Chain A
Amino acid sequence: MIEWAFLLFGLFIMLFGTLGLLRFPDVYTRLHATAKCDTGGAISILIALALASDLPLAGKLKFFVIAFMIAMINPMVSHAIARAAYRRGIKPKAVVDMYAWDNS
């Protein structure tokens, strides 16, 4: 029963993450939507899979290892994409840009 709740929550987050990817104006705000879609959505779907599957304990543990790795790696990847986009010269649509003040 509870795995259905996790699965539906993951689908909900994935749906609105995709919607954010389509609606937000520039790279950096779109990264917010996709990063949250990745962590929240993928992790709750993985937890639902771990609860629902009839694997032995070592197999279920692997789902949690993957979820942990996603939670660790996802911020680094989004940081790398944002920094590379900034170095490439893509200006953010922002009200304030202190990074440009210090690095121009």
Chain B
Amino acid sequence: MSRVHLYLKSRLENVRRRLLYESYEARKLPTWERVAITWLALFIFWLVISGKFSPSHVVTGLAVTFIVALITRDFLTDDIRQTGHLLSKAAYIFFFLVPQYLFIMAFRLLESNLRVVKNVIFMDINPGIVKVKSELHSNTGLTILANSITLTPGTLTLDVDKKLGEAYLYVHWIDVETLDVEKAGIKIKGELEEWLKKISGDTALRCSIPTLHDRAG
């Protein structure tokens, strides 16, 4: 009796998750918007890199970046979803959260350099590879978190293991202080994950719903 009940409950749970996932997928940006965002980002990059503003340069840049944007439209905008306030959200992220994040990272970078200098001088190393659980789920958020961990003092991300709804980072730590997953996570990630959760917003939580393909494999 109770097993049938559990089976039905899990089926219902699966259907609910699939519905949520499909409604999440349906809120993807339309193709022309994805192409436009990628085109704009690439064109600004072209202008800064070339540093010339003559008409021939601008026209060449527009043409080339449009072709590249057509091909690579999904790489940059994969985690952006329509939430109704796309422009205000983008402005909030780029003018408020990203400068704060860069400011924090600059000081972590300085601290990590001085820490490695200290390690080189005294050779007080105690290396090990530890496993850390991450609460982020979107690909963009995980990438930024892994890169930030590499930039913070004494740690280097070795691999990311993304399973159903949860992600683990394997981190090479130059001075292992604790083997517990929770405590090591607090020591390594620090306040970074909270910032990244704010940047990726509520979409990170809905990314955790597995697809049919994931569950089959």
Interface of A toward B, CB cutoff 8 Å: 12-13, 16-17, 19-20, 23-24, 26, 28-29, 31-33, 35-36, 39-41, 43, 58-59, 61-62, 65, 71-72, 74-76, 78-79, 82-83, 86, 92-100, 102
Question: How many angstroms from the CA of A33 to the CA of B126 in the assembled complex?
Answer: 14
Contact yes or no, A40 B113, CB < 8 A:
yes
**Is the CB–CB distance between A79 and B176 below 8 Å?**
no
With A75-B148, A86-B158, A98-B170 known, 12 other A-B pairs at CB within 8 A are A13-B117, A17-B116, A20-B116, A28-B127, A28-B156, A29-B127, A76-B147, A79-B158, A82-B158, A92-B129, A94-B129, A95-B128
Measured CB to CB, the closest approach of chain B to A6, in angstroms, equals 12
Q: A92-B129, A94-B128 are in contact. Are A19 and B147 (CB under 8 A)?
A: no
Contacts of B159 in A (CB 8 A): 79, 83, 86, 99
Partner of A28, one of B49, B109, B172: B172
Contact A58 B150 (CB under 8 A): no
A16 to B118, CA, bound (A): 9
B109 to chain A: which residues have CB within 8 Å? 39-40, 43, 71
Distance in angstroms from B109 CB to nearest chain A CB is 6
Chain A hits for B112, CB < 8 A:
36, 40
Residues of B within 8 A of A (CB): 48-49, 51, 105, 109-110, 112-113, 116-117, 119-121, 123, 125-131, 146-148, 150-151, 154, 156-159, 161, 170, 172, 174, 176, 179
Which of B110, B147, B161 is within 8 Å of A102, CB to CB? B161
A33 engages B120 (CB within 8 Å): yes
